Every structure is written in structure tokens, then in C-alpha cells.
Structure 1
Amino acid sequence: METILHLIFWVLCFWILYSALAFESLEVLVENGIERSIYTRNPAAVPTLAIVLAARALLFYGLSFGVLSRFPEHRQWRPLLAQLALLVAASYLVEWGLLRALNKPPAVPPGIDILLYLFFTLAAFAYRLAKDWWRNERLRARLAEEKLTAELNYLKAQLNPHFLFNTLNNLYALAEREGNEPLSEGIAGLAELMRYAVYDSRADYVPLAKELHFLQRMVEMQSLRFDDEDELAVSFQVSGRYEQLKIAPLLLVPFVENAFKHGVRYGRQSFIRLEARVENRKLYFTASNTVYEDQARPHEDGGGIGLENARRRLKLLYPEQHQLEIKQQEDTFLVNLQLELDGR
């Protein structure tokens, strides 16, 4: 459909230019006292005007699909204006070179030529804005639909949370009575994680301190699976002032889950390093873990609540407020996230 609209646009532009600029002569005929005007146009102007439009198409698509597509990420006007000037120059050189090669005179007066450059430049800006707006609206609608579906599925599958917490409390009391301290600590940690995931995460934003505490408890729970023989080194460092800041709940969880899922093997030397640093209301979060020689980029499986889910949540909740870098090196998988936060 979009391709058809593009064709209609260019055909309409050509028809307007041909009607306005290919005028050759005007004849006035008088029949029975009635004057009749006959306009004649020069068919030889067709290839010349086609060259003019081809050059303007270079400007239009170079702007809308090239220069302007990268502008929202950087928001720098000087490079934008420099690239715009280069595109205008390239468009002019294409038009001039083709007309010269075909030995054709300029088809458009200089004043109208400038107006055409201005028109197609503004048209490229308008088209890019409309395209980005439509894409963002579709993304918002799809994510809203997926959120509703997830909530419905959650309600369908949800057991009574009070029953679950009561059961965990009973198991905790039993473990305490039997003197099994690691088990009782694990049950208490699981109850704390579930309480945060079930109740606290219903809010749109939660205190960053709560989210970081949840991650710390999550790391402790994940570490219960391993002992000294597994040679696992886990570190989680938090620094900076973040008492007044808030963040979308469970936003960082996929990165921690990914590290434990793919970065640890029983009986193998492994490491997981997590760091959360806050400076000037900006969160710098880093997660790195071991990559084994027989792994073929396993981290991008995107299954369940994975890295792709985190990317999409960041695009929706923090547009133009985050930078996410995910890369796999020879022996390390690395996630770097910069996130602008506020008190909301």
C-alpha cells in the first residue's frame, strides 16, 4: 500500500510540473463569435521533467530514509544541516549532469527550482515524522495488547497469593524446626521475591532502592544452587545516591536471569559481575558473565522474559532516555545500560 501511495505522489508531481512548465503556445479560435483558447504543450519536455523529478527523488529519499532516520538517536543539528547540504548538491549535480549528457536545456526556471528544493525537503521531513509517529503508535498498541493478554493469562493461571504465602510460611517454620538453615533462608528469600513480583511490581514505577534490593536477593537465591566445587564468582556492586529515584519494576531482571542462565555451568570456573552505579540521576548498569567455547551466541534466544522483552520495554517506557549495548566477546558476554531516571 505504501509503495502505491509513493507512485501516486510522484505521478501527481509530474503531472503538475508538466501542466505548469511544458506550456508551448496558446491559440485563440473564434467560431460563430465565440472565442476558444487552445493550449498546446511540448512533449519533448517529458524526459527533461523526468530528470528533474529523479534528482528530487534522490533528495527526498536520501533525507527521509537516510539522514532523518538517524536524527532522533543523536539530535545533532550541525551534522543534519551538513548532510542536507550534501544531498542538495548531489541532487543538483545529478540533474545538471543528466541534462548535459542529453544536451537538454534547463527545464525549470531558477526561482521555481529553489521552490522545488524547498518543497521536497519539507515533504521529506513531514513524511519521516508521519512514518515515525505511525510506527510508534503501532508499537504502543501492540505492547498494550500484549500487556492486556499477559494480565488476562496471569489472572487465569493465578493461584490465591495468600495461599502461596501461607504455604511458604509453613515450609519456613518446618525448616526452622528441623534446623535446616539454608533451606529456611531460601524459603524466606523466595517469599520476599514473590511478594515484590506479585504486589510491588503492579505499580508503574517503584523506588530504585527496592528494585536493587530485589536484584540482590535474586542473586542470593540463584547462588544457592552452587557450592565451592562449582568455582562460581559472583559480585554485585551498588554505588551512588539513588534514594529519590524510581524505575519501572523488574526492568533489570532479564539481564540478571540471562547471566545465570547462560554464564554458569556446574563444575566449571565461572563468573558473574553486576554493577549498578548512579550519577546525576542516571543509572549505569552492567552485567557480564562467562562465555564458554562451545556456546554459539546462546544469549539471544529471546525465550520467555528475555533480552528482547527488555529492549521493547525500554523503547516503550524510556524512549530517547536510554542506551543499551549487548555484545558477546571471546570469553565474556556484556550488557551495558545507561538509563535516565527521575522521581516520577
Structure 2
Amino acid sequence: MKTVLRIFESGLWLIGLFVLTWPAFGLTMGHFSAEDGGLFWSSLVGTIINVVIFYGNALYLMPRQLAKRKRKQYVLSLVIAFVLLTLLEITFDYLLLQTLGRPVAWYNGELIGMVLVFNFFFLFLSLGYGFFLIWLRDTQYQKELEREKLASELNFLRSQINPHFLFNTLNNLFAMSRKNGDYTTAEQLARLAGIMRYMLYETNADRVSLRKEMEYLQNYIELQQLRFQESDPITINCTWPEDDESLRIAPFLLIPFVENAFQYGISLTRPSAIALSCKVENGHLLFTLQNTIHKVNSKEVGGIGLQNATQRLKLIYPEKHQLEISTEENWYRVQLKVDCKN
């Protein structure tokens, strides 16, 4: 990308030089004319010096000094470089006019003024360009820091639990349940073991199988439903996509929305409902979640989990996702579309 940009910019410099100095246009600038070639040589050297001022300031001085808060050093370096380059260009133009038989005084105001106008113009352009590059670099750096922060938080959560102890305990409980004929409890323990296995061992990569992520959500919802009695006024409907091993997704991307639905959408005393739908269309995951809200202030629904999920989407799927969250009366709705092709 940088190479293409530099080629494009070089092309603009060359086009400008060509238009300015082509004899057919018959242009004149100050003491120089395109017809005798004087304008070409003056513009060529002037363009080279303008390029040095523009890129030297934007790509070298500003990133190495100004961006590192070495302001005094930057100003001194910029002034010295600007003065030396300007004197060099004025000297060349003076000698060129001598060669062309049109000598002028060294302190000729028109000659000096023309050089200063162009050099100051490109200096100001380079300041804008340099500040843009610094802003772009800082933005990318902040995104990388946020990405590393999220990854470190995820690793910290994993490291808080001793997986061997948990699995040994779950296996013992599973065996005891089957031995006592309590197959329902054994089944739920198997679901919990599946969740733990997925969280600790199968999510170390940047992307996981969409099928694995769906199984994780199903196990989570099944375990959540253990809290409810058949007489509770709670309705939970889920639609899952067909198995597709080719699609992959960032792990734990959807669970914050599901956790939020159970936290704010379920009441054991009032009618409650959660409707979840996952579909796959043309390599895109279409995730829709709707739940009732049982809070006085519906704006309070959500929290750090949803903020984290939203931030991860921006970092992992920039320009490749669409997220819409809306609240209507006592209903909370999440619609998410993610490009899972890459």
C-alpha cells in the first residue's frame, strides 16, 4: 500500500513538472521561460528541493523528533534544513540566469520571493501530511494495544482456573451420577465439561469452528435452563444453523449477548422470553437475539460484557460486521451480521 501511494505521489510531481515546463504551453515564471529551457532546469531543481522539504519533514523530522516530543530539536532542525535548501535553490537560479545571459543581482526580490513562496507552500503541505501520518500511526498503535489488552484479559481469565482439578472433579461427579442412576445430572455434568474443555483448550486460536461455538452456546443455554421449573413463565426458543465445518469465527464473540439476555431478560415471577436465531447465508453469520427486559431503566441493560463484545467486533472484524442494538418498550433486540469467509 505504501509503495502504491509513493508511486502515485511521484506521478503527481512529474505531471506537475511536465505541465509547467513544456515549451508548447509557452509559460513563464519570473525570470524564466519554457521556450529557452530555463524554466525546465529551474523547475527541476526546485521540484527536487520541494520533494526533499516535503518528505524530509513529513517522513523523517516529524516522526523522529516532533512525534517524540523533541520540539526544540525539531524546530532547530527544520529551520536549518529549510534555510540551507532555500539558499541552495536561490544560488542555482542565480547561476542559471548568468548562464542564460540574463544576470540579476544576488538580492533580487522577485527571484528570492518566488523560491520562498514555493518552499513555504510545500513546507505547510508537509506539516499537514506529517500530522496525518502521525495520527494514523497512533490510531493503529492504539488499536493494537486494545487488541493485546483483550487477549491478555482472556488469557488471565483462563489462567485463574486449574483445568486439571476441574476436569477430575467433573469426571468424578459424572461417574457418581451414572453409578447412582441419575442420568439427567450426568448429562448436565457432561455439558459443563464440554463448556470447560472448549474454554480452556479449543479457543487458543484466533478463529474456531462455527460449529464448536454453536455447541458452546447450546450447552450454556441448557445449563441456564436448569434454574427454571416447568411452571415458571419462561419461554426460550433457539434456532441453530446447519453444521458447516468450513466457517470459522472468533471465539466467545456471541456469549456476552446471550449472558446479557439471561441476566436482564428472565424473571421467575413475570412472563419472560428469549428468542435466539443463528443462520448462515453466503458465508455470513446472521445472529438475532431478542429478550424481555425486567429492569426499571431499560438503558441500564448491558454492561462491561457488551462493551467488550462491541470493541472486539471493531478490532477483529473492521468493516466486516454490522451490529444493531435496539430497545422497544420491554424488549431488547440484538442483530449481528459477521463475515466469516476469512
Which TM-score tier does this pair reach, normalised by the shorter chain? 0.5 to 0.7
Q: Distance in 2 between matches of 1:153 and 1:36?
A: 73
Contact 2:276 / 2:290 at 8 angstroms: preserved in 1? yes
1:199 maps to which residue?
201
Determine if the alignment matches structure 1 residue 158 to structure 2 residue 161.
yes
Q: Distance in 2 between matches of 1:270 and 1:282?
A: 30
TM-score, scaled to structure 1:
0.60
1:141 maps to which residue?
145
Q: Distance in 1 between matches of 2:226 and 2:188?
A: 8
2:274 maps to which residue?
272
2:316 maps to which residue?
317
In structure 1, the residue corresponding to 2:227 is in which secondary structure? coil
In structure 1, the residue corresponding to 2:238 is in which secondary structure? strand
Task: List gaps (5 residues or longer) in structure 1.
Answer: 21-34, 41-111
Which letter maps to 2:320?
A: Q
In structure 2, the residue corresponding to 1:230 is in which secondary structure? coil
Contact 1:196 / 1:214 at 8 angstroms: preserved in 2? yes
Offset, 1:318: 1.1
Per-residue CA deviations over 1:282-334 (Å, capped at 9, x if unaligned) read: 111111110136234232321xxx01111121122111111111222211111
Q: Distance in 2 between matches of 1:301 and 1:205?
A: 25
RMSD of equivalent CA atoms: 3.7
Contact 1:232 / 1:269 at 8 angstroms: preserved in 2? yes
Contact 2:264 / 2:295 at 8 angstroms: preserved in 1? no
Q: Distance in 2 between matches of 1:129 and 1:240?
A: 46
1:94 maps to which residue?
none
Q: Distance in 2 between matches of 1:339 and 1:262?
A: 25
1:337 maps to which residue?
336
Residue number among 205, 213, 219 corresponding to 2:215 in the alignment = 213
Offset, 1:125: 7.6
Which letter maps to 1:322?
A: H
In structure 1, the residue corresponding to 2:278 is in which secondary structure? strand
Contact 1:289 / 1:332 at 8 angstroms: preserved in 2? yes
User: Any runs of at least 4 consecutive aligned residues in structure 1 with deviations exceeding 6 A, and if so which?
Assistant: 118-126
Q: Distance in 2 between matches of 1:242 and 1:124?
A: 49
Q: Distance in 1 between matches of 2:284 and 2:130?
A: 33
2:54 maps to which residue?
none
Determine if the alignment matches structure 1 residue 300 to structure 2 residue 299.
no
Offset, 1:205: 1.2
Which letter maps to 2:292?
A: T
Task: List gaps (5 residues or longer) in structure 2.
Answer: 1-65, 87-104, 111-116
Q: Distance in 2 between matches of 1:287 and 1:298?
A: 18
In structure 1, the residue corresponding to 2:231 is in which secondary structure? helix
Contact 1:207 / 1:245 at 8 angstroms: preserved in 2? yes
Change in CA separation of 1:178 and 1:336 when aligned onto 2, cut-off 3 Å: same
Residue number among 258, 261, 276 corresponding to 2:260 in the alignment = 258
TM-score, scaled to structure 2:
0.61
In structure 1, the residue corresponding to 2:237 is in which secondary structure? strand
Contact 1:241 / 1:279 at 8 angstroms: preserved in 2? no
In structure 2, the residue corresponding to 1:267 is in which secondary structure? coil
2:7 maps to which residue?
none
In structure 2, the residue corresponding to 1:327 is in which secondary structure? strand
Residue number among 227, 230, 237 corresponding to 1:228 in the alignment = 230
In structure 1, the residue corresponding to 2:294 is in which secondary structure? coil
Offset, 1:208: 0.6
Offset, 1:241: 6.7
Contact 1:193 / 1:218 at 8 angstroms: preserved in 2? yes
Contact 1:241 / 1:278 at 8 angstroms: preserved in 2? no
Q: How many residues align?
A: 244
Per-residue CA deviations over 1:122-177 (Å, capped at 9, x if unaligned) read: 9878755652442122121233145335535643x332x22211211111222223
Residue number among 131, 135, 145 corresponding to 2:135 in the alignment = 131
2:325 maps to which residue?
326
In structure 2, the residue corresponding to 1:285 is in which secondary structure? strand
Identity in percent: 35
Contact 1:286 / 1:334 at 8 angstroms: preserved in 2? yes
Which letter maps to 1:135?
A: T
Q: Distance in 2 between matches of 1:245 and 1:168?
A: 31
In structure 1, the residue corresponding to 2:318 is in which secondary structure? coil
Change in CA separation of 1:137 and 1:184 when aligned onto 2, cut-off 3 Å: same
Which letter maps to 2:233?
A: E
In structure 2, the residue corresponding to 1:261 is in which secondary structure? helix
Offset, 1:239: 3.4
